[in-house]
Structure 1
Amino acid sequence: MLGQHSTHPTMLTGKPAATASRLYPWLVFALSFGLLLSDYMSRQVLNAVFPLLKAEWALTDTELGALGGIVALMVGLLTFPLSILADRWGRVKSLTLMAALWSLATLGCALANNFGEMFIARLCVGIGEAAYGSVGIAVVLSVFPRHLRASLSSAFIAGGAFGSVLGMAAGGTLSAHFGWRWAFAGMAIFGLVLVVIYRALITEPRLKAQRLALGEDAPTESHRESLALRPLLSALFSARSILCAYVGSALQLLVMGALLAWMPSYLSRYYGMATDRAGMTAAAFVLAAGVGMVACGALTDWVARRSPARKWLMAIAYSLACCALLAVAFRLPAGAAQLALIAAGMVLVGGTAGPASAVVANLTHPAIHATAFATLTLANNLLGLAPGPFVTGVLADRIGLLGALQWIPLTGLLAAACFIAGRRYYTADLQRLEHQRNAQQAAN
C-alpha cells in the first residue's frame, strides 16, 4: 500500500530507536478529541436556540441558515492556508491558538444584541475553527500505527457529531433555564479550560519522539521541499481518485450539515416540542450519527483489511442506504415510524468520513497530511457543511422546512456517483504514486 515504508528509525536518526509509548498516543487522542468536542459544541449550540433567536429578533429561515452556514464557509475558505501555516509553524501551537480564538468568539455570541453582531461573532468562530479538524487529525494519526487509520479517522471525525450532541443538548437545557446567552457562555468556558490543559500536556518534541519510535519519516530537508507550492498542489490534486474522495465526502456531509442545523427546529415545528426537549431529541439523533461514524469506520477497516479498494464500496453503500432511509422518512407523517427511519439514516449519514479520510491519507505523504486533510476539510465545508444549512433555509422559506428536508437527502446519490468513479481510478493512482516515490528515493 502507498505510504508504507520499511525504513527503520535507527536509519533516520543514526541512534537506537526509542520504544513507542502506549499511553501517550491515547492522551493525544483524548485531548485532541476533547478540543474537537469544544469546536462543534461552539458551532452547533446555535441550532438549539434557533427558535428563541427567531422569535426574539424576528429572523427568517434564510437568516438562521446564514448564521449556521457562515462558520462552515469560513472553515472552507481558510482551512487550506491555515493548515499550511500549521505544518510550518508548529501544529501544537496552532491548535491551541485556534481553540482559544473560537472559544472567545463564542463568548462574543453570548454578548450579541442583533443579527449583525451575532453574524460577526459567528464568523470569528469559523476563523478559529478553520484548520482544527485537518491539523488535529494529522496530529492524532502521526502517533498511531498506520493500520488503524480508518478507525481513528472515523472516531476522531465522530467527535464533531458528539460535540454537536453536547452543544444541542446542553444548549437547549441552559437556554431553557438561564436564557440563550448562557448557552453560548457555557460552551466558551469549556473550550478555554481545555486549551490550558492541552497546551500543558501536548508538546512537539514528544510527538516527534513517538513518530520516530513508530518508524515514521523524520522531518528532512526533502520533506520541507515537498511543501513548496507546485509539488504540494501536484500531490494534493494530481490523482483522480483523491478528487473523487474530496467531492464525494463533501456531498454526503451536505446532508449531515443540513440535519444537524435544522433537526431542533423541525422537531419544534412539526412535533410541537419545547426548546429544551427539541434540543435533547435532536441531540439523540446526532449521537446516532456519531456512533455510526465510529461503527462504519471500524466496519470499513475490517472489510478492507486485505483489499484497500473495498473502502470505496463501503462508502458507496453508506451513501445509497442513507439516501433511501432519509428520503422515505421525510415523506412519512410525523410519528414513531418517521423518527425511527430518521435515526437509522443518521447512523449512516457520516459513514463515508472514515473511508474518505483513509483514502486521502493513503494517497499523500505523511509530511503533508495536515495540508491534505485541510483540502478534504475545505471540500467538506465549501461543498457540504456550509451550503447544507443555508440551502435548506432558503428552500424552507419557499416550500416549508419539511419540503426542504425531503429534497436534501437526494444529494447522497451524487456522493455515491463520485465514490463509484473514485474506485475505478484508485488502484492505478496508488501504483503511479508509489512508483514516483520509489523513483525519488532512488534519486536521493
Structure 2
Amino acid sequence: MDMHALTAKKADADSYLFGPRQAWFAFAMTIALMMVDYIDRQVIVSLFPHLKEAWGLSDKQLGALVSVVSVTVALAALPIALFADRGSRVKSIVVMATTWSLATISCMFTRNYSQLLAARAVVGLGEAGYGAVGSALIASHFPARMRGALLAGFFAAASVGSVMGVMLGGLIAARWGWQAAFGVVGIPGLVLALVYSKVRDYRTVDLTPRLDRATRSTGSVVRAIVQALTRSRTMLWVCIGGSAQLIVVSAVWAWLPSYLNRVHGMAPDRAAISAAMVVLSGAVGSVVWGALIDRAGRRRPRAKLLAMAFLCIASLAVLVTAFGAPRFGIAMTAQAQFLLVILGGFLMTCTVGPVSAVVIDVIHPGIRATGASVLALFQNLFGLAAGPFIAGILSDAWTLEQALTAMPLFAVVAGWAFLRASRSYEPDLERVGQTLKEEQAALEPPAANSALA
C-alpha cells in the first residue's frame, strides 16, 4: 500500500499526523501569522479620517483601499494554492508573509493615492492563498473530528488581527501620524516568517492520473473548478453563501470607525477603539458559532447548514435595527444602539469557520488547499472586496448611516444559499467517501499477488 495513502488515511481518521506537539506548534504559528495578516490588512480603516483630511478622498476611494487587497488576494490565491498543494505549504507561507510585510512597510513611504493603492495591492498579492494553504495545513495535522472548531479558531484569528489593526492604526496615527502606523505593524510579519520555517509540513499527497492532469496548470485548474462546482452543489452554494455574508462583515468592519466619527462625533482614535470592540465580538462569535455548528451536525450533517442560514438572518435583523433605528423612528440611546451593533458583530461572523470545514469535507484530500482557494476566491472577490466598495458608493450617494443600514440585506442571499447547500451536503459527503474507498482499494495489491510474494 502507498505510504502517502496511509498518511492521508491516518490524518483523516482520529489521530494526529505527527503528534500533538507538532500539530499545536503548527496551529499556533499559523494563527499568529493569520493575526498579522489581518493587522496589516485592516490597519487602513482607522486611518480613513486622516486620509480623507490629508488627500480629500471620497468614500469610494477609501473603500477601494480596502477592496483592492481582497481583489489581488482573489486573483492570485488559486495559482499560489496550486503551487502549495504540489510543492511545499511551509515554504509558500514563508514567502507570502515576507511579501505582505514588506509591502505594508512600503505604504508609509507613499506620497499620493495612486502609490498607496498600488502598495495595498501588493499587500494582497502577498496574502493571497494564505487562508487556503494555512487551513489545509491545520486540517492535515489534526483529527477530522476537531477540524470545524480549529478552523473556526484559525479564522477567528483574522478577527483578532482586525481588532488589533484597527486599534493600533488609530492610536499610532494619533501620536505619530498615519504613515507610522504602516511601519509599526509591518515588522512582526517578517519575524514570524523566519520562525515559521520550523513548522513541519505534511507530505504531498499522490494524485490519481485524473487529478494530476487537472492540477498541472492554472487553466486546467479553472476547468476542474467549474466541473467541481457543477458536480458538488454543496461547494457552489457554500461559496455563494459565505461570500454574501462576508459582504456584511467587511462593510461593517471597514466603515464602523468612520460611522462613529461622523454620526456620533467620536475622535478618530476613540472611534477606532470602539469599533475594535465590535470586531472582537465577531472574533468571539466565530469561535462560539463554529463549535456550536459542529455540535449541531454530529447526528445529522445538514443541520450545520441550516444553523448557518438561521444565524445569518438573525444578524440581518439585529444590524438593520441597530443602524436604522433613527430612520425607523425607534427611540434608542446611543449606548443601546452600540450594544446592538456589538450583538450584530457577534452574530454576523457565524459562517467564518464552518464554511471552510464544509468545503474541505466535500473535496478530495489531495487538493485541499486548491479546493479551499476556490472558497477564498469567492469570499475575497465577491465578499471582502465587494463590501467596503459597495458601502462606499452607497455612502457617497446617500449617507454612511443609510449605507450601513442597507448592507446587512446581503445576509438574505447568504441564508438562502445555505438552505440550498443543506440539500446536497450529505450526498456529497457520501460521494467523496466512496471515491476515497475506491482509490484506497486500487492502491492495495491483489490478495493473490501478496500471497505469491
Given the two structures, how large is their TM-score scaled by the length of structure 1?
Answer: 0.91
Letter in 2 for 1:344: L
1:406-421 matches, within 5 Å, as 406-421=405-420
| Rounded Cα–Cα distance in structure 2 between residues aligned with 1:178 and 1:10 | 51
1:76 corresponds, among 65, 74, 81, to 74
CA shift at 1:236, angstroms? 5.4
Specify the alignment match of 1:26 in structure 2: 24
Cα displacement string for residues 235-257 of structure 1 (whole angstroms, at most 9, x for unaligned residues): 45521111001110000001001
Q: Decide whether aligned partners of structure 1 residues 433 and 25 sit closer, same or farther in structure 2, where only a CA change above 3 A counts.
A: closer
* Worse-matched range after superposition: 424-433 or 122-131: 424-433
Specify every segment of 5 or more residues in structure 1 that has no aligned partner in the other structure, as ranges. 1-6, 209-217
2:119 corresponds, among 118, 121, 129, to 121
Letter in 1 for 2:261: S
Cα displacement string for residues 118-149 of structure 1 (whole angstroms, at most 9, x for unaligned residues): 00100100101111111111111110100011
Cα displacement string for residues 227-286 of structure 1 (whole angstroms, at most 9, x for unaligned residues): 453684344552111100111000000100111110110111011111111111111110
Specify the alignment match of 2:178 in structure 1: 180
1:146 and 2:144 are equivalent in the alignment? yes
Q: Contact between 1:65 and 1:389, CA under 8 Å: does it hold in 2?
A: yes
| Rounded Cα–Cα distance in structure 2 between residues aligned with 1:20 and 1:86 | 19
Q: Decide whether aligned partners of structure 1 residues 8 and 195 sit closer, same or farther in structure 2, where only a CA change above 3 A counts.
A: closer
2:199 corresponds, among 198, 202, 212, to 202
Q: Decide whether aligned partners of structure 1 residues 10 and 95 sit closer, same or farther in structure 2, where only a CA change above 3 A counts.
A: closer
CA shift at 1:21, angstroms? 2.0
Q: Decide whether aligned partners of structure 1 residues 34 and 220 sit closer, same or farther in structure 2, where only a CA change above 3 A counts.
A: same
Letter in 2 for 1:24: Q
Q: Contact between 2:100 and 2:124, CA under 8 Å: does it hold in 1?
A: yes
Specify the alignment match of 2:385 in structure 1: 386
CA shift at 1:221, angstroms? 5.0
1:360-379 matches, within 5 Å, as 360-379=359-378
Give the fraction of aligned pairs with identical amino acids, expressed as a percent.
39
Specify the alignment match of 1:322 in structure 2: 315
1:86 and 2:71 are equivalent in the alignment? no
Letter in 2 for 1:258: A
Q: Contact between 2:42 and 2:162, CA under 8 Å: does it hold in 1?
A: yes
Specify the alignment match of 2:46 in structure 1: 48
Specify the alignment match of 1:339 in structure 2: 338
Cα displacement string for residues 127-186 of structure 1 (whole angstroms, at most 9, x for unaligned residues): 011111111111111101000111011110111111000001111111111111111111
Specify the alignment match of 1:259 in structure 2: 252
CA shift at 1:443, angstroms? 4.5
CA shift at 1:11, angstroms? 9.4
Cα displacement string for residues 334-391 of structure 1 (whole angstroms, at most 9, x for unaligned residues): 6012111111110011111222111101101221111111111100011110010000
Cα displacement string for residues 300-338 of structure 1 (whole angstroms, at most 9, x for unaligned residues): 112222222111111111111101100111112460121
| Rounded Cα–Cα distance in structure 1 between residues aligned with 2:442 and 2:347 | 45
* Worse-matched range after superposition: 421-430 or 366-375: 421-430
Q: Decide whether aligned partners of structure 1 residues 429 and 181 sit closer, same or farther in structure 2, where only a CA change above 3 A counts.
A: same
Specify the alignment match of 2:206 in structure 1: 220
Q: What is the RMSD computed on CA atoms of the aligned residues?
A: 2.1
Letter in 2 for 1:339: F
Cα displacement string for residues 363-420 of structure 1 (whole angstroms, at most 9, x for unaligned residues): 0122111111111110001111001000000000010100100100010001000001
Q: What secondary structure is seen at the aligned counterpart in 1 of 2:94?
A: helix
Letter in 2 for 1:64: L
Cα displacement string for residues 66-114 of structure 1 (whole angstroms, at most 9, x for unaligned residues): 1111001111111112110111231111101011111011011111111
| Rounded Cα–Cα distance in structure 2 between residues aligned with 1:438 and 1:38 | 40
CA shift at 1:428, angstroms? 2.2
1:112 corresponds, among 110, 113, 125, to 110
| Rounded Cα–Cα distance in structure 2 between residues aligned with 1:11 and 1:157 | 25
Q: Contact between 1:236 and 1:364, CA under 8 Å: does it hold in 2?
A: no
Q: Contact between 1:236 and 1:372, CA under 8 Å: does it hold in 2?
A: no
| Rounded Cα–Cα distance in structure 2 between residues aligned with 1:168 and 1:252 | 21
Specify the alignment match of 1:215 in structure 2: none
Specify the alignment match of 2:163 in structure 1: 165
Cα displacement string for residues 40-65 of structure 1 (whole angstroms, at most 9, x for unaligned residues): 00110000100000000010101001
Equivalent pairs counted in the alignment come to 422
Letter in 1 for 2:117: F
Q: Contact between 1:244 and 1:422, CA under 8 Å: does it hold in 2?
A: yes
Specify every segment of 5 or more residues in structure 2 that has no aligned partner in the other structure, as ranges. 327-332, 444-453
* Worse-matched range after superposition: 379-388 or 82-91: 82-91
| Rounded Cα–Cα distance in structure 2 between residues aligned with 1:151 and 1:420 | 21
